[in-house]
A and B are shown apart, each in its own frame.
Chain A
Amino acid sequence: MFGEYNAIEKKILSGERLDRADGIKLFECRSLTWLGALADHVRREKCGDYVYYNVNCHVNLTNMCVSQCKFCAFGRAAEARGAYAMTIDQAIAVVEDALNDPNMSGLHIVSGLHPTWTFDDYLSIVRALHERFPQLYIKGFTGVELTHFAKISARSLEDILTDLKSAGLQAIAGGGAEILSDRVRNLLCPKKATADEWLEAARVAHRLGIKSNASMLYGHIETLEERVDHLIRLRNLQDETHGFQTFICFPFLPKNTALEREIKQTSMWDDLRTMAVSRLMLDNFDHIKAYWVMLTVPVAQVALSFGANDIDGTIHKETILHDAGATSPTGLTEDAIIGLIREVGRIPAACDCNYNVLRIL
Chain B
Amino acid sequence: MRLTVEEGIRLFDCDPIELGLRADAIRRKKFGDVTTFIIDRNINYTNVCENECRFCAFYRRTGSTDAYTLSIEDILKKAQKTVNAGGTQLMIQGGLNPTLDLKYFERLFRAIKNCFNITIHSLTATEIEWLSRREGLTIVETLKRLQAAGLDSLPGGGAEILVDAIRQKISPRKISTAGWLEVMRAAHSIGMKSTATMVIGFGETAAQRIEHMDQIRRLQDETGGFRAFITWTFQPTNTALGGSKVSAWDYMRTLAISRIYLDNIDHIQGSWVTQGERLGQLTQGFGADDLGSIMLEENVVRAAGTSFDMSTRKMIGLIEGAGFRAAQRDTQYNILRRY
Contact = CB atoms under 8 A, between A and B. Distances in A.
Given A269-B322, A299-B279, A302-B282, A33 B20 contact: yes
Interface stretch (A34-42, A101-109, A149-157, A226-234): A34-42
A99 interface: no
Contact of A299 (B21, B33, B248, B323): B248
A90 interface: no
A36 B17 contact: yes
Contacts of B17: 33, 36-37, 40, 305-306
Contact of A40 (B15, B24, B281): B15
A345 B16 CA distance: 11
Contacts of B248: 298-299, 301-302
Which range contains the number of B residues in contact with the other chain?
Answer: 20 to 34
Contact of A343 (B250, B282, B285, B318): B250
A30 interface: yes
A302 B285 contact: no
A34 B322 CA distance: 14
A40 B19 CA distance: 13
Interface string B277-297: 011011001100000000000
Residues of B contacting A: mostly: helix
Contacts of A269: 281-282, 285, 321-323
Contacts, number: 77
Interface in A18-40: 30-34, 36-37, 40
Contact of A267 (B15, B18, B20, B281): B281
Interface in A206-225: none
Interface in B267-310: 278-279, 281-282, 285-286
B199 to A, nearest CB: 18
A272 interface: yes
Interface in B239-266: 247-250, 252
A30 B33 CA distance: 9
Nearest to B245: A298
B244 to A, nearest CB: 10
B20 A298 contact: no
B232 to A, nearest CB: 16
Interface residues of A, number: 25
A357 interface: no
Contacts of A272: 282
Contact of B247 (A33, A40, A301): A301
Contacts of B318: 267
Contacts of A263: none
Given A33-B285, A268-B278, A305 B249 contact: yes
A340 interface: yes
A298 B247 contact: yes
Interface of B: 15-18, 20-21, 23-24, 28, 33, 247-250, 252, 278-279, 281-282, 285-286, 318, 321-323
14 contacts: A30-B33, A32-B282, A33-B285, A33-B286, A36-B20, A37-B18, A37-B21, A267-B322, A269-B281, A269-B285, A304-B249, A343-B247, A343-B249, A344-B249
Given A32-B24, A40-B15, A306-B17, 4 more contacts: A33-B23, A296-B278, A301-B248, A340-B247
